[in-house]
Amino acid sequence: DSVYPVLKSACGFYQDFLVPEPKHNWLVVSPSISPENNPSVHSTSVCAGATMDNQLLFDLFSKTIKAAKLLNKDSDLVADFPKILDALPPMQTGRLGQLQEWMEDWDSSSDQNRHVSHLYGLFPGNQISPFTQPKLFEAARTSLKYRGDVSTGWSMGWKVNFWARLLDGN
């Protein structure tokens, strides 16, 4: 029982970018990228289902459901959103103990790219918490350690916020 027909009937335009992933039948954004980074095993950043996209969609659908309920509006629009949410890929911990940046375990411990888009679920999102998702919380910490603190401009500010969300103000 695939969610893809539900997706088509719910909002026709979502079918333009959410497609079934063949291995798990998750709904993923394709094409996708993790902004300004690419896995060391590929020469391109284009992929399917980058973690940041999955986290953004989770927030979009879940917050739209909540807003519709609070405002008592658009119940028809959001009726199928819970099914779509259930079909999104989960965040995954990779072989290095890191939060995977991509659906596949392509991360490298030597990747010190200043971009940490896959940590959106930690900040500014709130999908990763020591209280509700302790394993993902530790995986996010591991990702940030591998990336290092060296960065410039906005990336430095983001990393400060990540460390604060990781309960490490130092």
Alpha-carbon torsion 44, 46, 49, 52, what sign? positive
**End-to-end CA distance of the chain, in Å?**
49
Place of tokens 């940590």: 119
Q: Is the pLDDT of residue 65 over 90?
A: yes
Please state, in angstroms and rounded to a whole number, the distance separating the CA atoms of residues 34 and 101.
7
**Model confidence pLDDT, tens digit, residues 76-108:** 888 889 999 999 999 999 999 999 999 999 888
pTM above 0.85, yes or no: yes
Find all residues with CB under 8 Å of 165, minimum gap 6, and list them: 122, 123, 128
**Model confidence pLDDT, tens digit, residues 5-28:** 555 555 555 556 789 999 999 999
4 within 8 A of 26, measured Cβ to Cβ = no
* DSSP symbols for 2-69: -SHHHHHHH-GGGGGTEEE-TTT--EEESSB-BTTB--TT-S---BSS-HHHHHHHHHHHHHHHHHHH
